[in-house]
Amino acid sequence: MRTAIMLGAAVGPNGLASPTLERRAKHAAALYLEGKVDRILLTGGIGQTSTKV
């Protein structure tokens, strides 16, 4: 299986994705929809704020 790894990025205190995260997600989705990858592996962690996703 071809797998894309999408690196995490910030989520704002309002719960919205940062521009970087949005850009990465759109690119990963495009790779999947174009049939270039079979799955997307998301990475990330818990940031310094108490934002709940």
Residues 20 and 24: their CA atoms lie apart, in Å, by 6
15: left (phi over 0), alpha (psi -120 to 50) or beta: left
Q: Is the pLDDT of residue 45 over 90?
A: no
Q: Is residue 50 part of a domain?
A: no
Q: Which domain holds residue 18?
A: 3-42
Q: Is residue 31 part of a domain?
A: yes
Q: Is residue 34 part of a domain?
A: yes
Q: Is residue 49 part of a domain?
A: no
| pLDDT tens, residue by residue, 1-44 | 999 999 999 988 888 999 999 999 999 999 999 999 999 999 99
**Element spanning 21, H or E:** helix 19-33
Predicted pLDDT of residue 49:
62
Q: Is residue 17 part of a domain?
A: yes
Q: How many separate domains does the chain show?
A: 1
Q: Is residue 37 part of a domain?
A: yes
Q: Is residue 48 part of a domain?
A: no
Taking the whole predicted model, whether its pTM rises above 0.85 is answered as no
